[in-house]
Amino acid sequence: MQGHTPIFEKKNVLITGGAGFLGSHLCERLLREAKVICVDDLSHSNLRNIEHLLQYPDFEFIKYDVTKDIDLNDFPELDKFRVKFQGVQEIYHLACPTSPKNFESLKLHSLAANSAAMMSTLNLAVKSKARYVFASSSVVYGEPEMDERAFTEEHEGIVQHLSPRGCYDEGKRFAETCVSTYRQVYGLDAKIARVFSTYGPRMPLRDGLLIPDFIINAIEGKSLTIYGDGQLKQSLCYVSDMVDGLIRLMQSGVDTWIVNIGSDEIYRMEDVAQMIISMVDSSSQIQFEDPLVFLTKKGKPDLTRAKEELQWLPLVRLQDGLKKTIDYTLANKEAII
């Protein structure tokens, strides 16, 4: 069930959470080939991330909460994209809070993003006969049973669904069930990207996200805080690689529908912090604090399926990605700090 609607010139693509970190990069990239409808309620993202895109005629921002049913005919500003005639061809559902520090206050947002928002965006995909990609998370695998465990897409993780993190961890699992059910019932070409840790410019600051907070603190000469101990490790994928993976998944055949996207290299956060201190030429020290609820031990992705079915691999080296992120932060620090 796809591609039955006429396309005038370029396809229409809708991105929820489009003003967020990952969403804004996806909007920017897709403008090369599509008319982009960015939908975001700005509850935990920032208009500054997409300000530079507002000048383009093929880009439209709509402030809207996608946990409510969405009818694109209700937005006259989309008449220029002829949505009444062609709807949308692709939907990327990225909207969901990912703040480690504000996790407690965003629990209901997480719950809604992984349930009500799934139904509203999937229903829109059915109505428009659109392809659909959901940004799930590596948390569905649970914590790795052994160090540096590589998870394949077949792995069934153990998630504590009643824990303080249940609204997010079990929420992502339920959201995946929604995608699977809509495939079964409607024949929808809906796909699941299991997203592993991603970093790059425009990540929110002071949110407990390690890379941007490391950079800001190193620039300011403050201590770099690691929530955990010296053995805390995670994979790190640069945002342009992640965006490329999501687009390749959207363009893949209907039988390719659950794919890990991330880096299969694991880094000790203490080593990454030291690298950033060195790159910024800072005198900062590293300190350790108790783990945040939202920051849990993660494994790394097995990328066999991504390589074979998407011809995708992460290409940006950690040093190069960190340099781009540091350069962006230095150039924009007056506005973003």
Confidence of residue 260 (pLDDT cuts 50, 70, 90): very high
**Domain membership flag for residue 281:** no
Look up 168 and say whether it is catalytic.
Answer: yes
pLDDT of residue 5: 56
Confidence of residue 298 (pLDDT cuts 50, 70, 90): confident
Q: What is the mean pLDDT of residues 117-143?
A: 96
| Single-letter code of the amino acid located at 236 | L
**Domain membership flag for residue 46:** yes
- For strand 90-93 and strand 190-195, is the pairing parallel, antiparallel, or unpaired? unpaired
pLDDT of residue 92: 98
Count of domains forming the chain = 1
pLDDT of residue 106: 83
**Domain membership flag for residue 217:** no
pLDDT of residue 2: 47
Region of poorest pLDDT, from 84-88, 200-204, 207-211, 305-309: 207-211
40: domain range?
11-200+238-263+299-315
Q: What is the mean pLDDT of residues 299-318?
A: 97
User: Higher model confidence: residue 43 or residue 252?
Assistant: 252
**Domain membership flag for residue 273:** no
Q: What is the pTM of this model?
A: 0.94
Q: What is the mean pLDDT of residues 271-292?
A: 93
pLDDT > 70: percent of the chain: 93
**Domain membership flag for residue 216:** no
pLDDT of residue 199: 96
Task: Give the whole-angstrom CA distance, residue 237 versus residue 269.
Answer: 14
**Domain membership flag for residue 27:** yes
Cβ proximity of 117 and 12 under 8 Å = no
- For strand 11-16 and strand 90-93, is the pairing parallel, antiparallel, or unpaired? parallel
* 55, burial (CB in 10 Å: exposed 0-12, middle 13-18, buried 19+): exposed
Active-site pick, 92, 168, 182, 238: 168
**Domain membership flag for residue 130:** yes
**Domain membership flag for residue 148:** yes
What's the CATH number where 63 sits?
3.40.50.720
Chain mean pLDDT for the chain: 92
Q: Dump the DSSP string for 16-40.
A: ETTTSHHHHHHHHHHTTTEEEEEEE
